[in-house]
Homo-oligomer: A and B are copies of this chain.
Amino acid sequence: MNEDSSIAKVADILREEAHRLGPGAKLRSSRELVRELGVSPVTVSRAIARLTAEGRVITRPGSGAFAAPGRRASSEASDSSWQTVALGDRVVDDTGVAGLLAEPGEGVIPLTGGYLNANLRPARELSAAAARAVRRPDAWALPPLSGLPELRRWFAGEVGVSRNDVLVVSGGQAALSHAFRALAAPGEPVLVETPTYPGALATAKLAGLRAVAVPVDRDGVRPELLAEAFAVTGARVFYCQPTLHNPTGATLTPERREQVLAVARAAGAFIIEDDFSRYLATSTPPPALVSMDDHGTVVHVLSLSKISAPSLRVAGLIARGPAARRLRASQVVESFFVARPLQETAVEFVTSPAWRRHLLAARREIGERQRLLLTLLARHLPAAEVHLVPPGGLHLWVRLPDETDEPALVERAHRAGALVSPGAIYYPAEPPGPRIRLTHTAPADHAELTEGVVRLASAFERG
Give the complex CA separation of A158 and B353 in angstroms. Answer: 43
B140-A309 in contact (CB<8A): yes
Q: Is the CB of B335 within 8 A of A162?
A: no
Q: Is A141 an interface residue (CB 8 A)?
A: yes
Q: Does A145 contact B (CB under 8 A)?
A: yes
Render A72-90 as a binary contact track against B, CB cut-off 8 A, 1 for contact: 1111001111111111101
Given A83-B322, A335-B177, A330-B127 contact (CB < 8 Å): no
Verify if A123 is at the interface (C-beta below 8 Å from B). yes
Once the chains are docked, how many angstroms separate the CA of A287 from the CA of B134?
36
**Given A80-B295, A131-B134, A157-B54, A339 and B336 contact (CB-CB distance below 8 Å):** no
Which residues of A (76-116) have their CB < 8 Å from a CB of B? 78-88, 90-94, 97-98, 101, 103, 115
Tell me if A232 is interfacial: C-beta within 8 Å of chain B: no
Rounded to whole angstroms, the CA-CA distance of A454 and B182 in the bound complex is 44
- Stretch among A167-175, A387-395, A443-451 lining the B interface: A167-175
Taking a contact as CB atoms under 8 Å apart, the answer to whether B284 and A329 are in contact is: no
The yes or no answer to A311 lying at the interface (CB within 8 A) is yes
Given A55-B159, A160-B72, A186-B186, residue A311 in contact with residue B334 (CB < 8 A): no
**A328 CA to B164 CA, complexed, in Å:** 34
CB <8 Å contact, A332 and B171: no
Asked whether A227 is an interface residue with its Cβ less than 8 Å from the other chain, the reply is: no
Contact partner of A333 among B74, B97, B115, B165, CB < 8 A?
A: B97
A245 CB within 8 Å of chain B: no
**In the complex, which residues of chain B have a beta carbon less than 8 angstroms from the beta carbon of A134?**
126-127, 130-131
Residues of B within 8 A of A206 (CB): 330, 333-334
Give the residue among A52, A199, A311, A329 with the most B Cβ atoms within 10 A. Answer: A311
Q: Name the B residues within 8 Å of A80 (CB-CB).
A: 295-296, 320-323
A residues bordering B, Cβ < 8 Å?
A: 1, 4-5, 8, 15, 49-50, 52-56, 68, 71-75, 78-88, 90-94, 97-98, 101, 103, 115, 118, 121, 123, 126-127, 130-131, 134-135, 137-143, 145, 157-162, 164-165, 170-171, 173-174, 177, 182-183, 185-186, 199, 202-203, 206, 208, 236, 268-270, 284-288, 291-296, 308-313, 320-324, 326, 328-330, 332-342, 345, 353, 356-357, 360
Q: Nearest 3 CB-CB pairs, A to B?
A: A80-B321, A55-B291, A80-B296
Given contacts A127-B140, A313-B338, 8 further A-B contacts (CB under 8 A): A53-B285, A54-B291, A72-B294, A81-B321, A86-B183, A92-B333, A130-B134, A140-B310
Can you list 7 A-B pairs, Cβ within 8 angstroms, ordered by A?
Answer: A4-B356, A54-B287, A83-B296, A86-B183, A92-B182, A170-B339, A173-B336
